[in-house]
A and B are shown apart, each in its own frame.
Chain A
Amino acid sequence: MTVAAPSDETGATPIAHGASTAPPRRGGRSLWGYLFMPVMLTSTLIALYFYVQSRELSPGEANRINSDAILSATWEQIELTVVSTLLVLAIAIPMGILLTRPFARSITPPAIAVFNIGQAIPSIGLIVLLAVVWDIGFRPMVVALVAYTVLPVLRNTMVGLRQVDASVIEAARGMGMTKRAVLVRIELPLSVPIIMAGLRTALTINVGTATLGALVGAGTLGKLIVAGIVQNRQLILVVGAILVAVLALLVDYLASIAEEQLRPRGL
């Protein structure tokens, strides 16, 4: 603590050198933390497979429960989820960026109100409404999903951008970074965790809600559930419901890994 020894503060860091050279581990899950969900989902599918195998299927059931039908239905569901989520990203993130720029301050509340309508209407109502006034099949289903999930991603993008420390932005501008560079290199990376949380919400909603596509001719695993109910066949209903649940959990699991991996280091 003497004026003569000014640099002892930097020398006396409690963190060991060895620890600091290793890159900080991302996520922080144990191996079991990563394996738990895939193992559980795989065992569920295997159990379901043997259960179905052990049953004598009626022709009506065999017609629904075969690998071709199930794979194509699963694919339809994934396609709907992926396309709608990509569209949501393409709409909500640029929109969120625009609405947080200073020049857009006055139009932010009305814009949010518009996107709010999409989420306020129950999704099944919107899907049926679109089928009645427009069309059935893939496209109206995508529109309904997008309308339903733009808001969470938009809101998280805006919250994410707004929570970036103003002093960090001021320092960046003060060093001569252009506004665009500040956005791309500072603001967006620092809001990734919050944007990703919104995206994960959107993905989970979309993969679940896509099941309703069965009602408007967009296929999906919902077909099995609908058929099970209509034909009063428990087995088809159960298989459909379990597959939807497994797919939803898998998507959420993958999204959680992406969330961890994309989080910038140092945060």
Chain B
Amino acid sequence: MNDSRGSAPDARKIKIRLENLSKRFPGQSQDAVDSLSMEIPEGEIVILVGPSGCGKTTTMKLINRIIEPTSGRIFLDDEDVTKVNPDLLRRRIGYVIQQIGLFPHVTIADNIATVPKMLGWKKDRINVRVDELLETVGMDPGNYRDRYPKELSGGQRQRVGVARAMSADPDVMLMDEPFGAIDPITRDRLQNEFLRLQEQIKKTIIFVTHDIDEAIKMGDRIAILREQSHIAQFDTPERILVNPADDFVADFIGRGASLKRLSLSRVRDVELHQWPTTQDGASHDDVRRLLEASDKTAVLVLDNQQRPLKWVNAEHLQRAGDGVALSDIGLPAEAVVQPNATLSDTLNEMLTARYSTAIVVDSSNAYQGIVDIDTINETVRSMRRAEQARLRPDEADDEVGS
């Protein structure tokens, strides 16, 4: 990849262009951001990632001029916005920070309505928009619009923060460690929700994080920055993982690169296996016949909408009397994932549930098939083989052994 430094390799429309952007804070002998040039394609999530103090947050804040650049130029849609009125510029760019910064003295609805009000929208239009956004981020408008921020949990505040940033439907959003202050379980969920949302809204998003795993999961493209915001590598997550530009990048990605690759493959990319299933109402004899006919030791019981309920094996049948409904015996059908879950998430679910299979369901939670641990193992192996073929032979030993 000759052009992997600083510019996007394909021909998508460039949304934001930074040209020799520099920032030196007063009283400092060195630039915090030194002559950064970068092109950000439309509709992608571009991650700025790097060790602390590398200038990634400063770089992001230069784009909406919360920090004014010392020199260089910023183009938004080919328009030079380096000198335009910064307040008007910021109303065109969504902004989410780690601490969220909801206004504690106004309601959730008023928080979300901040930018539309400044843009002079009519009241009806604002109300409709607020309800729509609350629904988009999975919060019931009737329940939440008149609450105050302190009445919400951390995850809910984060959702409101994202809704507020999207309120006037900006093309571009800047997000500074938006999920940084949230517990890991909620963070994972918010990340997945956000990715699903992005599939619909297709915003151009600049996303700052110090967490390479989050970068790999969230990014269409990742810019790995070293000190003074020098770009070490700017490329897709796949290519960065497979082909780190130098030792700094390789170090930053870390040793667990194989495992990280699991974050790149999604359930929909692997072949699903089928499993014997039966309906909740089926008789115990039906189940026994199914078990005999298959090489599996348990059947999956589904409800009348094809949603997984239970795993039932021969022993469960034996212990329960003949009349007991299938939904009352067996083990709970845990480790359920949707096709857009990453294999890493899937593995996680399996380990949490202590099952060696994960059940795949569609968006209405209806059974689709299963992914088992062997499938995941095979995927890791094939990715490693593909990559070893590309790597120079002397580096092949460096890869993590199983």
Contacts and interface: CB of A to CB of B under 8 A. Distances in A.
A267 B105 contact: yes
B107 A266 contact: yes
Nearest to B64: A174
A211 B100 CA distance: 50
Interface string A1-29: 11111110110010101001100100000
Contact of B87 (A3, A178, A265, A266): A178
A121 to B, nearest CB: 38
Interface residues of B, number: 59
A167 B104 CA distance: 11
Given A2-B349, A20-B151, A175-B114, 14 more contacts: A6-B138, A7-B138, A10-B155, A24-B148, A167-B101, A168-B104, A171-B97, A173-B66, A174-B95, A175-B95, A175-B115, A175-B118, A176-B88, A267-B150
Interface in B145-174: 146-151, 153, 155-156, 159, 161, 164-165, 174
Contacts of B153: 9, 13
A266 B148 contact: yes
A170 interface: yes
Contact of A167 (B100, B107, B336): B100
Interface extent on A, as a size class? 35 or more
A68 interface: no
| A7, A167, A174: most-surrounded residue (chain B CB, <10 A) | A174
B16 interface: no
Interface string A161-174: 00001011111111
A2 B349 CA distance: 7
B140 interface: yes
SS of B interface (majority): mixed
A3 B89 contact: no
B31 interface: no
B318 interface: no
Given A6-B138, A9-B189, A176-B118, A266 B143 contact: no
Interface string A146-186: 00000000000000000001011111111111100100001
Interface in B85-117: 86-92, 95, 97-107, 114-115
A20 B147 contact: yes
Given A10-B139, A175-B90, A178-B87, A3 B336 contact: yes
Interface in B13-55: none
A6 B352 CA distance: 16
A176 B90 contact: yes
Given A3-B341, A9-B155, A176-B91, A168 B103 contact: yes
Contacts of A3: 189, 192, 336-338, 341, 345-346, 349
A20 B98 CA distance: 27
B365 interface: yes
Contacts of B303: none
Contacts of B174: 174
B156 A171 contact: no
Contacts of A118: none
Contacts of A265: 105, 148
| B92, B149, B192, B338: most-surrounded residue (chain A CB, <10 A) | B338
B268 to A, nearest CB: 13
B66 A174 contact: yes
Nearest to A23: B146
- Chain A to chain B: the 8 pairs with minimum beta-carbon distance, closest first: A171-B101, A266-B148, A176-B90, A167-B99, A176-B91, A174-B95, A264-B105, A167-B101
